Amino acid sequence: MTAQLPSTRSELLGLLSEACEIEHALACVYLYAAFSVKTGLDEGLSWQEQQHNVRDASEVYKVAAEEMFHLAQAWNLLTAIGGSPWLERPPFPRPRRAAPLHRALVLERWSKATLLSFHGFETPESPPEVPAFKRPRDVRGHFDYQTVGELYELIADGIKALPEQELFIGSGDAQADRALADFHELVPVRNRADALEAIGRIRRQGEGRYESDPDSHFNTFERLLERLQATPDPERLVREVASTPLRYVDDGVPTGATLITHPRTLRLASLFDDIYLLMLQLLGFSFAQSTAPPALRRTFAQRSIQLMARCIRPLGAALTREPIAEDGGSLRAGACFQLGRVVHLPSEPRVARRLVRERFARLAEAARRLDSITHGGDRPLLRIAEHLASLGELGAEA
């Protein structure tokens, strides 16, 4: 790691925004891999194989949910020192030469190579077998790091070095806590001790060691790698899912990506991305709008987390069973996690409430229309439409 440390508020805000982008991106790539694991007996699995696959995918879903907690914690750190929640992230695929880590950020199906990459993201130290990669020293490249842990170490060092009274200028009311969002380890940040405790929780949960936390992300991926290596013919247990599917491109398909051309799959992928965007908008409002009624912030945060479990997860898995090409073939699609501009919800509670209700209603109707052209199966879109309609009933207190 470079000896250079962040020495200004601006540099710390930049590093924390970069941490938000990484946590956000990792949640997406982890989910994509978990979506690709076969879980149906109709896919040629034995009962025992199905149970093992459900267990392994569930472990990764848990890691992805914790990455969203890390994102939320980074938002608290940002608002504590004068920033605001950062919802943006660079598009997939993110090549190694442009990525903030030493590995590319891409959407890949479950495999040994994919799990090795995940293991590398969460490693407590820069792995010696990976050569250091120095990015060009542009606005975002003043600090070199190769792991998520090294990034948070830089942030912690900057927080220790800057004067506490001058650094923590954000309103305490802007801090989200466990009463607002269902992240049981969320730390409100009002001073240096809070900030360092928050960073410590992120690092322990992500990196960990067997003697400290066997369920840390690093140890989880190490355990999953061991299981995969002991599995005969692991390819048979995973769907043939494309790498980094895209709904649209601006200037040619990037290397390592695959364009969706099947019309119905395109509509499904668009529905997924619309739900994903709404989830981000709801969570962002809850963390950013400190003057909004607490009941509304709480309701929006709850709806965001419920969208992840009830809609994003089942629709993401369903997309890995849909053809990517219009002319058929064996290659399946997957969730694109493709965002355009992330438009924040307005700060006025009355307007935000109305827009959210309208958005839920329109997404529910889109899911119903897609369900009407589905043939056979267990009709996950009908259940998703019902969830969307139910979640859109915000209640009088919201």
Class of residue 263 by CB neighbours under 10 A (exposed 0-12, middle 13-18, buried 19+): exposed
- The total number of structural domains in the chain stands at 2
> Is the pTM for the entire model greater than 0.85?
yes
What's the rounded Cα separation, in Å, for the pair 367 and 315? 10
45, 145: one domain: yes
156, 305: one domain: no
83, 149: one domain: yes
CATH number for 360: 1.20.1260.10
Domain boundary among 185, 211, 239: 239
97, 156: one domain: yes
User: How do residues 283-316 score in pLDDT, each as one tens digit?
Assistant: 999 998 888 999 999 999 999 999 999 999 999 9
User: How do residues 212-222 score in pLDDT, each as one tens digit?
Assistant: 678 899 999 99
Give the per-residue pLDDT at 58.
Answer: 97
Give the per-residue pLDDT at 2.
Answer: 43
**CA dihedral over 319, 320, 321, 327, signed as positive or negative:** positive
**Angle value at C-alpha 148, between 135 and 339, nearest 5 degrees:** 80
Give the per-residue pLDDT at 147.
Answer: 83
Domain boundary among 214, 239, 264: 239
Report residues of the chain scoring pLDDT below 70.
1-3, 98-100, 102, 125-142, 208-212, 375-378, 395-398
200, 246: one domain: no
97, 176: one domain: yes
Is 272 in a helix, a strand, or coil?
Answer: helix
Cβ–Cβ < 8 Å for 159, 12: yes
Give the per-residue pLDDT at 12.
Answer: 95
344 is in which domain, residue-wise? 240-398
Give the per-residue pLDDT at 210.
Answer: 47
> What single letter denotes the amino acid at residue 69?
F
227, 99: one domain: yes
198, 69: one domain: yes
